[in-house]
């Protein structure tokens, strides 16, 4: 990266520090991952220069012939991976994809059933702080006392509230979802169905979790979490919603699509079609299971009773620590997680009762069951030693030593 270095050493220095932070630590935020070098190259490719408002074959700008080929490749690959009738690869990220999906399917004032944030839902699923919650009537359901998605309760609420849309798919929920049953409930009350698979798209692509795409009206996702592509979004839907979805994304909400990101999406989708990606997804789940067992046996309280996917939501208060304190201690030990609300959390979002952690990024680095056992031990030690900076530094050194065995972007440097 000679050009960044020679023109802007200030930015280069920070990029190098960030690169080393990613290399030396354990990245356990479940929505993060490390893209391939091919995806990184695509993000810095010449397609960033091109305006291409419209869609392949129907653009408002000249010179789009090669952009069309790339965007169509991304669309066709996503269709094949997920069994989608129609795909729009232009959403800039998950939140805009969800807003476009609402705009495509709903009239203002329509009722949507979506899951409460603290029970694993997402802000864009109707949280009162969002603009969507002011436009549509979101009614929010919760997990049951055992911490599971309660489809009997969802059915009762659907019968009571007669929603136009039922929304499932979550950001902090660690269990499988029975999409067929959700569709049956929706059919019974005449609702449409939407799934937000942002977190689990990679696991679905690999056939490691249930796939709502062939069943539901509309499915939104990000492309940068378990799917391991560039930071971006995507909408998949039935053909009957195709026009409305495309209109909602452009010109409804967005202008020129970020074609460098779409180039990177095309490449990431090709990667997701390789046999190695299936192995990767299996290992993500196997690694999460090891953490479930190891952290559970060390007295951590796992929400939803454990995990079927890539993440764990943990109530850390039985360890006499808050989510914020646990996150800070783990940061000092070189382990990055995020503090998170637990269902009906009595505490506040900036200092909640829980932490959320996951295995996609560590699995990309090649870590397996043996490493997960070490990671669980470090997490436990760091939280117990939260007031002992010497012990936290000692753990950080052990973490750094281990990460050296799992190189990341080996030839990349922003300062040479
Ligand atoms: N911020 C994402 C996550 O961490 O799950 C969701 O938007």
What are 54-66's pLDDT values in tens digits? Answer: 999 999 999 999 9
Catalytic residue among 181, 231, 301, 365: 231
Identify the domain containing residue 50 by its residue range.
40-272
Residues 87 and 224 in one domain: yes
**DSSP single-letter state for residue 250:** I
Residue-level pLDDT at 39: 98
Q: How far is the CA of 31 from the centre of ligand 1 (A)?
A: 6
R_g of the chain computed on alpha carbons? 22
Strands (E), 52-203: 54-55, 58-59, 86-88, 111-115, 137-141, 165-168, 192-196
Q: How far is the CA of 172 from the centre of ligand 1 (A)?
A: 9
Residues 297 and 233 in one domain: no
pLDDT grade for 101, boundaries at 50, 70 and 90: very high
Cβ of residue 171 lying under 6 Å from some atom of ligand 1: yes
**Domain boundary residue among 272, 289, 305?**
272
Residues 254 and 191 in one domain: yes
Residues 317 and 234 in one domain: no
124 catalytic residue (yes or no)? no
**Domain boundary residue among 245, 272, 299?**
272
Q: Which protein residue has the closest C-alpha to ligand 1 atom 3?
A: 31
Specify which residues 87 forms β-bridges with: 236
Residues 97 and 191 in one domain: yes
Catalytic residue among 27, 103, 116, 196: 196
Residues 179 and 223 in one domain: yes
pLDDT at 1 over 90: no
| pLDDT tens figures, 13-22 | 999 999 999 9
Q: How far is the CA of 171 from the centre of ligand 1 (A)?
A: 6
Cβ of residue 257 lying under 6 Å from some atom of ligand 1: no
Residues 77 and 211 in one domain: yes
Catalytic residue among 23, 164, 225, 339: 225
- 296 within a domain of the structure (yes/no): yes
The stretch 376-389 carries a mean pLDDT of: 98
Residues 138 and 44 in one domain: yes
Cβ of residue 223 lying under 6 Å from some atom of ligand 1: no
51 catalytic residue (yes or no)? yes
Number of domains composing the chain = 2
Q: What CATH number does the domain containing 16 carry?
A: 3.90.1150.10
Q: Which protein residue has the closest C-alpha to ligand 1 atom 2?
A: 31
Q: How far is the CA of 311 from the centre of ligand 1 (A)?
A: 12
Residue-level pLDDT at 75: 99
Q: In percent, how much of the chain has pLDDT > 70? A: 100
Catalytic residue among 47, 143, 220, 222: 222
Q: Which residue among 31, 120, 310 has the greatest number of ligand 1 atoms within 8 angstroms of its CB, and so is best to mutate?
A: 31
Residues 260 and 142 in one domain: yes
Q: Is this prediction's pTM over 0.95?
A: yes
pLDDT at 120 over 90: no
pLDDT grade for 191, boundaries at 50, 70 and 90: very high
Token duo for residue 252: 């409804």
């Amino acid at each position: 990266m000679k050009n960044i270095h020679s023109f802007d050493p200030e930015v280069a220095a920070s990029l190098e520090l960030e690169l080393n932070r990613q290399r030396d630590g354990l990245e356990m935020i479940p929505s993060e991952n490390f893209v391939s070098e091919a995806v990184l190259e695509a993000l810095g490719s010449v397609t960033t220069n091109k305006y291409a408002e419209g869609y392949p074959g129907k653009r408002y700008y000249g010179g789009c012939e090669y952009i069309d080929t790339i965007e169509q490749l991304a669309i066709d690959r996503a269709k094949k991976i997920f069994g989608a009738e129609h795909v729009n690869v232009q959403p800039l990220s998950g939140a805009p994809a969800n807003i476009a999906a609402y705009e495509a399917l709903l009239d203002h004032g329509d009722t949507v059933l979506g899951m409460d944030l603290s029970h694993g839902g997402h802000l864009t699923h109707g949280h009162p702080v969002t603009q969507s919650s002011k436009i549509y009537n979101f009614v929010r359901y919760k997990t049951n006392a055992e911490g599971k998605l309660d489809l009997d309760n969802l059915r009762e609420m659907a019968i009571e509230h007669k929603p136009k849309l039922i929304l499932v798919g979550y950001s902090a929920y660690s269990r499988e979802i029975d999409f067929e049953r959700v569709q049956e409930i929706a059919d019974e009350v005449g609702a449409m169905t939407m799934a937000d698979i942002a977190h689990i798209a990679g696991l679905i692509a690999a056939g490691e979790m249930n796939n709502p795409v062939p069943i539901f009206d509309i499915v939104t996702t990000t492309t940068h979490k378990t799917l391991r592509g560039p930071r971006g979004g995507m909408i998949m839907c039935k053909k009957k919603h195709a026009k409305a979805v495309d209109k909602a994304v452009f010109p409804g909400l967005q202008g020129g699509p970020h074609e460098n990101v779409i180039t990177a999406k095309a490449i990431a989708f090709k990667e997701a079609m390789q046999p190695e990606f299936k192995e990767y997804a299996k290992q993500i789940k196997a690694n999460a299971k090891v953490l479930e067992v190891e952290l559970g046996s060390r007295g951590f309280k796992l929400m939803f009773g454990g995990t079927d996917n890539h993440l764990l939501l943990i109530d850390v208060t039985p360890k006499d620590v808050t989510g914020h304190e646990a996150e800070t201690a783990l940061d000092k030990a070189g382990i990055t997680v995020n503090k998170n609300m637990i269902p009906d959390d009595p505490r506040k979002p900036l200092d909640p009762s829980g932490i959320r952690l996951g295995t996609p990024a560590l699995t990309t680095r090649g870590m397996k069951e043996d490493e997960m056992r070490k990671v669980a031990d470090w997490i436990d030690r760091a939280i117990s030693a939260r007031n002992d900076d010497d012990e936290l530094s000692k753990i950080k050194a052990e973490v750094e030593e281990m990460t050296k065995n799992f190189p990341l972007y080996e030839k990349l440097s922003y300062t040479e």
